[in-house]
Amino acid sequence: MSEPKPTTSTRRLTFLITGCSSGLGLTLSRIVLGHGHNLIATSRNPARTPDLVAEVQSRGGRWLKLDVDDPASGSLIDSLEKGGTHIDVLVNNAGYSIHAPVETFTEEELRRMMETLYFGPARLIRAVLPYMRQRRSGVVVNMSSGAGLEGSESMGGYAAAKAAMDGMMKVLGKEVAPFGVRTLTVQLGAFNTNMPNAATCGKIPMPDDYKGSPVDKVADLITGGTFNPDGDQEKAMKAVYEVVVGEGVGAGRESERMLPLGRDLAVRLRQVQDGLAHAMEVFGEVCNNVYLETRVKSSSASSY
């Protein structure tokens, strides 16, 4: 078994990217094509973006229909692989968010977010891994969020789904490294995409107690059309591309499994670090003293 090898752009790679109809997925798709790689762009409904489909196809890429919520979505990867298209890089990017206090989320809303942000990517990962493992090469990339590390108010469902996938990726990276397969979790802050347009409020009206609270303010900021993040998606996706192929900022860093992006994300990371350090400062002694005491036979016990 071998350790993950650099995935350099000296050879033409095939990327399969979900959620390409706008934002980060579209930006990364254009970068991939611009560097001469093979692209399989996907979206739930390609008919809604005919100009983008035509653009990708005119540059040598393919655009396929893929609904990551579909329990049979992994069959697309099987069909491509068996047809001779070998996927070198899988990028799970499709996503959206619903904002509400945790107590008012409906079961359906929580399951929908978990379906798109956790089960969907997990299906595609499980579908592509056997092929990558057999070839002893490949990269699985998940576009995650700082919400999974330190979520803001109103993001309880979204944060839970992102944290679930982050947890799987931490384990997956260890499991597939011996087969030359890499994983990369991209922890994203807020960027100048259409994510606010894909964000909605929960169906159940917010209880009066929450009116004017941080939950109300954050939800209104993100879904009300006034959210104006300073993250540059072009710069972010350039960094993702370079880390995947081992160029630029990614040169010599092919073994890294987490890529943090965004000034606001840096703040969240510090909050997480400080929170963990605080917990150990307060409860460190307790943490280290809840072990089983060594059992010693009573000296009064009879011996034979």
Contact 239, 259 (CB under 8 A): yes
Nearest C-alpha neighbor of 43 from the set 71, 73, 88 = 73
Q: Which of 21, 43, 162, 241 is catalytic?
A: 162
Tell me how far apart the alpha carbons of residues 234 and 34 are, in angstroms, rounded to a whole number.
Answer: 13
- 158 assigned to active site: yes
Q: Which of 9, 97, 137, 158 is catalytic?
A: 158
Please state, as a whole number, how many other Cβ atoms lie within 10 Å of the Cβ of residue 288.
Answer: 9
- 162 assigned to active site: yes
The DSSP output letter for 291 is: S
- 291 assigned to active site: no
Q: What is the DSSP string of 160-173?
A: HHHHHHHHHHHHHH
The DSSP output letter for 271 is: H
Nearest C-alpha neighbor of 161 from the set 112, 221, 99 = 112
Q: Which of 29, 97, 144, 152 is catalytic?
A: 144
Contact 241, 141 (CB under 8 A): no
Tell me how far apart the alpha carbons of residues 54 and 61 are, in angstroms, rounded to a whole number.
Answer: 9
Tell me how far apart the alpha carbons of residues 82 and 76 are, in angstroms, rounded to a whole number.
Answer: 10
Task: List residues with catalytic annotation.
Answer: 144, 158, 162
